[in-house]
């Protein structure tokens, strides 16, 4: 097992390089994984913004505090956390483990926002949207965790599926 990326022979791991098709550029596995992790992080960040908009909270740097207790401060912190995750994904060379952690961070921020929106819009759809956000965060955590390290095809696919379900549930709850 290598120091930073695990053994490519590990079940579910991708090879070191993936060819798109004959005659096209070769996309490294790390770049392909970053693309997937970034897409999940952007989706979670979009869910965060939508849930915050649903309760009338927009990005307000003054509302970000170290230990938020009020709904507006929690939502503002969620917006900041998701923005931080996207910014981190845009920097440096692709690193599947680090990139998956940023996608997990964005999904966790979406849970905070969903919790705030749920508290303002009690009902089955708000509850389902919160539950779906929590499941998406947990799946992103598994993909980023020790067993996945951002490279497991199966865990990444589960995280993508859970994110899609969270998007659908947020839309059904009116968090657009």
Pick the more confident residue, 63 or 98. Answer: 98
Which residue in the block uniquely carries the two structure tokens 């070769």?
A: 26
**Is 95 in contact with 30 (CB distance < 8 Å)?**
yes
The CA–CA distances, whole Å, from 71 to 5, 131, 159, 171 equal 39, 18, 27, 21
Can you tell me the distance from the alpha carbon of 64 to that of 79, in angstroms, rounded to the nearest whole number? 9
What would the pLDDT profile of 2-59 be if each residue is shown by its tens digit? 334 444 334 444 444 444 445 445 579 999 999 999 999 999 999 999 999 988 887 6
What would the pLDDT profile of 135-164 be if each residue is shown by its tens digit? 999 999 999 999 999 999 999 999 999 999
Q: Which stretches of the chain are assigned E, i.e. beta strand?
A: 17-19, 26-28
Report the range of poorest mean pLDDT among 6-15, 39-48, 69-78, 107-116: 6-15
pTM: 0.81
Q: Determine what percent of the chain is predicted with pLDDT higher than 90.
A: 65
The CA–CA distances, whole Å, from 152 to 38, 102, 145, 171 equal 16, 16, 10, 28
């Amino acid at each position: 097992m290598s120091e930073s990326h695990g053994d490519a022979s590990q079940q579910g791991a991708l090879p070191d390089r993936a060819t798109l098709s004959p005659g096209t550029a070769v996309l490294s596995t790390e770049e392909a994984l970053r693309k997937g992790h970034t897409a999940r992080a952007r989706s979670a960040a979009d869910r965060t913004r939508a849930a915050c908009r649903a309760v009338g909270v927009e990005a307000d740097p003054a509302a970000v505090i170290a230990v938020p207790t009020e709904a507006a401060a929690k939502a503002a912190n969620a917006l900041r956390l998701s923005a931080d995750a996207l910014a981190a994904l845009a920097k440096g060379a692709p690193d599947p483990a680090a990139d998956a952690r940023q996608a997990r961070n964005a999904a966790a921020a979406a849970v905070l926002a969903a919790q705030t929106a749920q508290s303002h819009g009690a009902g089955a759809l708000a509850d389902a949207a919160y539950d779906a956000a929590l499941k998406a965060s947990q799946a992103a955590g598994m993909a980023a965790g020790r067993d996945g390290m951002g490279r497991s095809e199966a865990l990444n696919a589960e995280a993508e599926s859970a994110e899609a379900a969270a998007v659908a549930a947020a839309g059904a709850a009116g968090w657009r």
